[in-house]
Structure 1
């Protein structure tokens, strides 16, 4: 334990962010950093409690509680308090292959289940995690560690997102020869195309990819398995195949006027902007530009929030984000949302904070249902119509939406981005391999085992569990690698 009374002596402190009105002028990460002394003080707030829920990932009431990769949080908090940065890095890497990703984009369910949060503000776990790995790279402590012996077994990993990279890293560590296939032109999956650069700068992703390549992993881009290479070819060439292709089939909406010009899927908008930015600093114009447009985002989750932030950086005229959910309370409901569940409370995410700074109010409209899109005589979107709703849950747990008469509204709109989730993985490879699917169309493979109904084919990450967090993808990639290692060798030393 750092100090038994640290949580009483010190207040929670987070690093300041760059001013919202300044940061919307660029595409760089917006967080600043705490000093070593501030980090030491924050580490001192960790109680090392008897039952540390922070590092035991589980799902409670439909959300994540604790860390899915089981980070040894109290241990590295204590090491930071003692100034033992290199030892903290070693402890962090024991459970997490990519803390530079989770330290930036994870919503920190560990903090939601922090014991200190029962009586005050949680420990700044995520901030300390990022500081440890960033320090490790700065000091040159993170170096390639290729395996000393190769097993002669060859494994193909399909998809280079967090699940695929974690799978590849662990299998390579076990001595297997790993090839990662990615259909895009850059490695990283949603880490590269999906998460905007202001949340995760792409040199951070490439730095890790270069490290993995130096350790012996082969990366093949611009290659879609099932089209450029058939599934059967892959099975013939490799001793095992791990599918980590994600849940990339975006859910659409069936609304009158959906065909109008100006209505787009959110990921087309985000990915186009990211690719253009990486290719040409947006000079090639190969993206949907929201400059001087009235923008509406349908969807209240992270993808919708990223659309808001992107539209602001394009220079939109206005931006509004619709959600069918009600506005969250200011404080955790002790009855319906008790600790250690993730706290469902009203907060401003980075994009909403930016929109409020620019336009004077939270851009979100809660409990809103879109009824129809309306266009002009040339087929261009000009407005959309909504109504307020009440959401209730019946005895079976099914959500029921009831429209409130008299709350109809017309919104001017030049661009609409649909961000209402994902329906599961794409089906080409699934059909070629004859894989079984669950009721949500994901590849059927038991959690903890990851083997499919087809011999030597495994599945992990969003392709198996559905749309989820980066940290869950890393968890599944690590566990799937262990199961593949067992399959290939009869036993495994992988965690």
Structure 2
């Protein structure tokens, strides 16, 4: 341990955020990096605690705590503090194929499980993680490492999101010939079309994809398996198939008027915006525009926040985000939300700050339930009717939301974005392959071996586990690659 009192001497510092009044005029990264020295100081805050929990991913009451890819966090914090950046990069890559993705878009459950976080602000793990990989690219340390020999086995990976990319990267390391099929026109899945540019730039995704290509992985875009190429053709050409298509079926809101024009799923809004931005800098007009509109975002999670940030950049007229939950406290309740659970606290994310800067106040309305949408004579939404609710639990422990009389409200709305999550994977391909599913419509495959009921077909990521985090997708991509390698070779060389 290089700095035994570092956690007592130094305050937590994360990447700086650019001025909201400036950054909302562009689509560039809303953050700015720390200096090397500042990052080294953050590494010094790591306590080298006797039983670190930051790097051990688990689920507690259905919520992730710690790092699911078992990142060697104390080790690379120490190496950064000592100025050994290249060694720190090697430690990052030991457990995580894509630290740039998790360093940007992961909610950092590792920080929630940080021992220092029991009574002090936790170590800025995500900031250090991103700083290491960015320095690695800047210094030219991240280079293609193709396998020394090939096995001759061919594997098809369906889906190029984080699970698919991790699967491909690992199987390629084992020497197999990997082809990744993506139905969109660009590689990346959720990374490309589900997270806006100012949060995760497509250049960051392609920087890594180009390395994977140079290592020997083939990518086939604009190709939907089961439509553009049949499952029979795939099974004939490849020795194994790994399904990493994600959980892309939207969760719908069951209220009157949900079919009105102007009511959209959040991902349709984000996808169309990013595609138009990358294709033409929004000049082609092929996107759902919030310009000049009263925008309502239903859902209080990260996707809803991304919708806020995108709408601000469109120069919408007004912006409101409905959260079904009450406003949370600023510090965790140690009785109901004890460490090392992920802290359930009030957070002000980048989109909230941008909306507040632009429109004068935080855009969130709490404990709000949508009752119905009302349209005009042309079938376009014009109002959202709501009521406030109070949460309680019935005798069986189920959540019940009681409406509070007198809290009914009508909100003007020209654009409504539904950001309440996903129900599971699409079923067409699953049915074509005659794969068994769970009660939640996800692919039935055990976490230990990722095998479906069809010989030679595996599944991983959200398609198997349901909607989850990028870091879990990478975990499952690495896991399914290991088991697929074992299936192909009788044993495995993969961790």
* TM-score range normalised by the length of the shorter chain: over 0.9
Any unmatched runs of 5+ in structure 2? none
Whole-angstrom CA distance in 1 between matches of 2:39 and 2:329:
30
1:77 aligned residue? 77
Confirm or deny that 1:121 pairs with 2:121. Answer: yes
**1:53-105 residue CA offsets vs partner (Å, 9 max, x unmatched):** 00000011221100010000000000001110000000100000000111000
2:23 aligned residue? 23
1:62-73 matches, within 5 Å, as 62-73=62-73
2:153 aligned residue? 153
SS in 2 for 1:54: coil
Whole-angstrom CA distance in 2 between matches of 1:408 and 1:203:
45
Whole-angstrom CA distance in 1 between matches of 2:119 and 2:330:
16
For the 8 Å contact 1:320–1:365, the answer to whether it is kept is yes
2:243 aligned residue? 243
Whole-angstrom CA distance in 1 between matches of 2:15 and 2:305:
21
For the 8 Å contact 1:172–1:216, the answer to whether it is kept is yes
**1:284-323 residue CA offsets vs partner (Å, 9 max, x unmatched):** 0000111110000111111111111110000001010111
1:353 aligned residue? 353
1:178-257 matches, within 5 Å, as 178-257=178-257
SS in 1 for 2:16: coil
Whole-angstrom CA distance in 2 between matches of 1:279 and 1:456:
38
Q: CA deviation at 1:394?
A: 2.7
SS in 2 for 1:206: helix
1:394-473 matches, within 5 Å, as 394-473=394-473
Whole-angstrom CA distance in 2 between matches of 1:393 and 1:227:
45
Q: CA deviation at 1:390?
A: 1.0
For the 8 Å contact 1:153–1:176, the answer to whether it is kept is yes
2:112 aligned residue? 112
Whole-angstrom CA distance in 1 between matches of 2:314 and 2:177:
43
1:488 aligned residue? 488
SS in 2 for 1:26: coil
Whole-angstrom CA distance in 2 between matches of 1:260 and 1:152:
53
2:344 aligned residue? 344
Q: CA deviation at 1:240?
A: 0.6
1:171 aligned residue? 171
Q: CA deviation at 1:214?
A: 0.3
**1:167-189 residue CA offsets vs partner (Å, 9 max, x unmatched):** 00000000000000000000000
Confirm or deny that 1:380 pairs with 2:380. Answer: yes
Q: CA deviation at 1:232?
A: 2.1
2:389 aligned residue? 389
Q: CA deviation at 1:484?
A: 0.4
Q: CA deviation at 1:493?
A: 1.6
For the 8 Å contact 1:2–1:43, the answer to whether it is kept is no
Q: CA deviation at 1:197?
A: 0.5
Whole-angstrom CA distance in 1 between matches of 2:416 and 2:360:
21
Whole-angstrom CA distance in 1 between matches of 2:263 and 2:40:
49
Whole-angstrom CA distance in 2 between matches of 1:379 and 1:117:
51
Runs of 4+ that moved beyond 4 A: none
For the 8 Å contact 1:103–1:129, the answer to whether it is kept is yes
1:296 aligned residue? 296
Q: CA RMSD in A?
A: 0.8
SS in 1 for 2:54: helix
For the 8 Å contact 1:2–1:46, the answer to whether it is kept is no
Whole-angstrom CA distance in 2 between matches of 1:49 and 1:210:
38
Whole-angstrom CA distance in 1 between matches of 2:71 and 2:394:
37
SS in 1 for 2:95: coil
SS in 2 for 1:204: helix
Confirm or deny that 1:137 pairs with 2:143. Answer: no
1:309 aligned residue? 309
2:58 aligned residue? 58
Q: CA deviation at 1:109?
A: 0.5
1:371 aligned residue? 371
Whole-angstrom CA distance in 1 between matches of 2:155 and 2:41:
45
Confirm or deny that 1:335 pairs with 2:318. Answer: no
Whole-angstrom CA distance in 1 between matches of 2:491 and 2:111:
35
2:45 aligned residue? 45
What is the TM-score of this pair, normalised by structure 1? Answer: 0.99
SS in 2 for 1:411: strand
For the 8 Å contact 1:2–1:47, the answer to whether it is kept is no
1:280 aligned residue? 280
SS in 2 for 1:50: coil
1:269 aligned residue? 269
Q: CA deviation at 1:439?
A: 1.2
Confirm or deny that 1:102 pairs with 2:96. Answer: no
Any unmatched runs of 5+ in structure 1? none
For the 8 Å contact 1:13–1:42, the answer to whether it is kept is yes
